[in-house]
Structure 1
Amino acid sequence: MINTRFTEGDYDLDEEIDSHLRRLFYIKPKAATPKLNPYIVEFFGVLSLTDLRAPQRKLWVIYHAKQPDLDKTVDAIHEKYGKKNMFDLYRTPVFSGAALRESVRKHFSNLKWFTTGNLLESPPKSHFNDEKMVKTITDLHYLEHQRLYNYVMVKNMWSMRYR
């Protein structure tokens, strides 16, 4: 039985042959792929923030973090804005928290909201409350799922067509 697990000092014949063939046939070298652990889940979340100096302001803080860093990220936000002033409104595992964060920021900036960093502020006399915020973010999350599904289905269709 061949041992397929290598340590750093082991010699990998397949990699060596691949690199020589790439040089021989003038093929671009493989890009260095980051070693990602697919078992570490990424989360996207929204915290509802109440400003004690101006309670009529409606503020939300968006964040994304991998599962091991989630508590540190939320604690840092609590430390910055105060733990008593906020509560966890929405948290869900996602494929890419950064992409969902950017789509949420883009959506709300198109609605003429004030978006600075991770902070979202609705304009004065806005009809948005926490329930509408959750519904909007859920819809944006669904659209993100739909985009990924469509991408995978198109790639599958092309691979099936050219077999």
Structure 2
Amino acid sequence: MTSEDNFAHEFERYLYRSFHFGPNTKIRQYDPSIMEIFGVLSLTDVRQPDRKLWYVYYCKQTEVDETLDRIFKKYGKKNMREIFRKPVFSGVDLCDKVKDHFAEKKLYVKGKLIEAPRNSPYNDDKIMRQVTGLYDEEQRLLFQYVCSKS
């Protein structure tokens, strides 16, 4: 069981205890048209391989394939790889948080592209860790909001 699954399981147990519900025995059916997906793609510029670029995207779960196809057509499928993809409550909010976070770290942010300066220590692993940290922070805020309302 991963930490994300563990968090979801503990969160669900907490909600059942808080609101005095019995254990959930139903299989949940999620509506994929409601759930949003947030992701980050690593871009490689063929003309300048030392250039560090990342593309931030979000869309409904049902539109993931269309969105990725559109991005791949624009930048080339060989030049991209996905480093982060998670379901989120609001893709717009997380996208704004990520862009603001990296703008504060003095990376160039234009639209949905994030570019690191030439001699910066940023690489895919560091970007992925920071985006994961922002994602976890958003999940904690959501958890605390639900806890405060109960």
**TM-score interval, smaller chain:** 0.7 to 0.9
Give the structure with the higher percent helix: 2
Q: How does 1:1-163 map to 2 (within 5 A)?
A: 39-40=31-32, 41-156=35-150
Unpaired runs of 5+ in structure 2? 1-29
Q: Percent identity?
A: 46
Q: Which residue of 2 aligns with 1:11?
A: none
User: Of the two structures, which has the highest relative contact order with CA contacts closer than 8 Å and spacing of 6 or more?
Assistant: 2
Number of aligned residue pairs: give it.
119
**CA-CA distance at 1:89 after TM superposition:** 1.2
Q: Which residue of 1 aligns with 2:6?
A: none
Letter of the 2:121 partner, please give it: H
Segments ≥4 residues shifted beyond 4 Å: none
Distance between the aligned counterparts of 2:43 and 2:105, measured in 1? 20
Letter of the 2:68 partner, please give it: V
**Local SS of the residue matching 1:84:** helix
Distance between the aligned counterparts of 1:91 and 1:148, measured in 2? 19
**Local SS of the residue matching 1:128:** coil
**CA-CA distance at 1:39 after TM superposition:** 1.6
Q: Please report the RMSD computed on the Cα atoms of aligned residues, expressed in angstroms.
A: 1.0
Q: Which residue of 2 aligns with 1:3?
A: none
The TM-score normalised by the length of structure 2 is: 0.76
Q: Deviations over 1:63-108 (max 9, x none)?
A: 0011111111111110111111111111111111111111000100
Unpaired runs of 5+ in structure 1? 1-37, 157-163
